[in-house]
């Protein structure tokens, strides 16, 4: 079973303002509401692909109840610790010429509720996959991912980590099955400015040497690089699409890669499918549908000269 953890879920309220003038009343042409959080995004795409998974996390208040209700509507299994006070955060996204975001703080989480979540995570065992991704609330320890992985060490669990900076680097001692930084995150870690998959490949090798079994570095429109568990290199381009909303594109890549590897696909094929999933989401208003992913896979195969 695949489990995703979303410690800081959100309701994403997306508005399409006609104007955006500070100090004045602005009006929106349309609005959308999505349930958000990196783990939830990954579970949403896995569910779209027909891959069984469970979302674990912490929710609060009427917004938390709405989030859980939406997951139920989508048919996504979940197990959330419910807080006694506060509300799951709301992120306001203003989709204009450029995306402008105001992210909420989220509720305060007591140690008692952290322990309740850890008790639920204790049910994960041999052969399961645990995906740790997204921000950590201010009220939780900065090393929360490391705490979880150390707690589960030695149980035969595959860890997947998609987190920035120190969170990512601290995870490497647990030898995660997969990490997926983007080129900018890799640049900040190593004090460089890599842009293309070729630029990122030496740093992917370094992350592999530090403990990560498989390292994907996404590079936006330039494509993606992978150093796999056999220390072999793979590079795929990005299919050409009209960018609609990049939110969740990286999460979709993670979901696509896990789904294909679980099917027994080669790392090369898994990376191609992961790239198509990320691109399909970037070309959609929300997490991509399977039909869109399939179209992008065909376009990417054609672009790469691969016969379907």
Q: Taking the CB of residue 98, how many other CB atoms lie within 10 A of it?
A: 7
Angle between helices 267-282 and 290-304 (to 10 degrees): 120
| Dihedral angle computed from the Cα positions of residues 151, 157, 161 and 166, in that order, rounded to the nearest 10 degrees | 30
Whole-number Å distance between alpha carbons of 63 and 230: 44
SS3 track for 94-143: EECCCEEEECCCCCCCCHHHHHHHHHHHCCCCCCCEEEEECCCCCCCCCC
Alpha-carbon radius of gyration of the chain: 19
Catalytic residue annotation: 251
């Amino acid at each position: 079973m695949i489990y995703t953890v979303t410690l800081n879920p959100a309701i994403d309220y997306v508005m399409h303002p006609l104007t955006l003038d500070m100090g004045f009343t602005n009006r929106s042409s349309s609005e959308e509401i999505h349930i958000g959080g990196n783990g939830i995004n990954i579970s949403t795409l896995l569910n779209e692909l027909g891959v069984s998974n469970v979302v674990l996390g912490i929710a609060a208040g009427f917004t938390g109840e709405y989030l859980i209700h939406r997951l139920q509507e989508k048919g996504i299994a979940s197990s959330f610790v419910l807080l006694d006070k506060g509300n799951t955060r709301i992120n306001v996204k203003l989709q204009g010429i450029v995306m402008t975001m105001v992210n909420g703080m989220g509720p305060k989480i007591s140690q008692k509720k952290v322990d309740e979540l850890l008790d639920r995570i204790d049910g994960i065992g041999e052969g399961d996959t645990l995906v740790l991704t997204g921000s950590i609330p201010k009220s939780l320890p900065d090393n929360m991912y490391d705490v979880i992985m150390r707690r589960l060490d030695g149980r035969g669990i595959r860890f997947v980590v998609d987190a920035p900076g120190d969170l990512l680097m601290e995870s490497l001692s647990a030898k995660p099955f997969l990490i997926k930084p983007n080129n900018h995150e890799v640049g900040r870690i190593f004090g460089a400015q890599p842009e293309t998959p070729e630029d990122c490949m030496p740093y992917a090798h370094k992350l592999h040497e530090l403990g990560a079994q498989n390292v994907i570095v996404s590079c936006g429109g330039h494509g993606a690089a992978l150093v796999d568990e056999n220390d072999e290199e793979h590079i795929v381009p990005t299919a050409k699409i009209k960018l609609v909303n990049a939110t969740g594109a990286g999460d979709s890549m993670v979901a696509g890669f896990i789904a294909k590897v679980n099917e027994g696909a080669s790392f090369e094929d898994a990376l191609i499918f992961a790239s198509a999933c990320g691109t399909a989401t970037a070309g959609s208003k929300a997490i991509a549908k399977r039909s869109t992913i399939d179209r992008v896979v065909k376009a990417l195969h054609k672009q790469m000269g691969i016969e379907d």
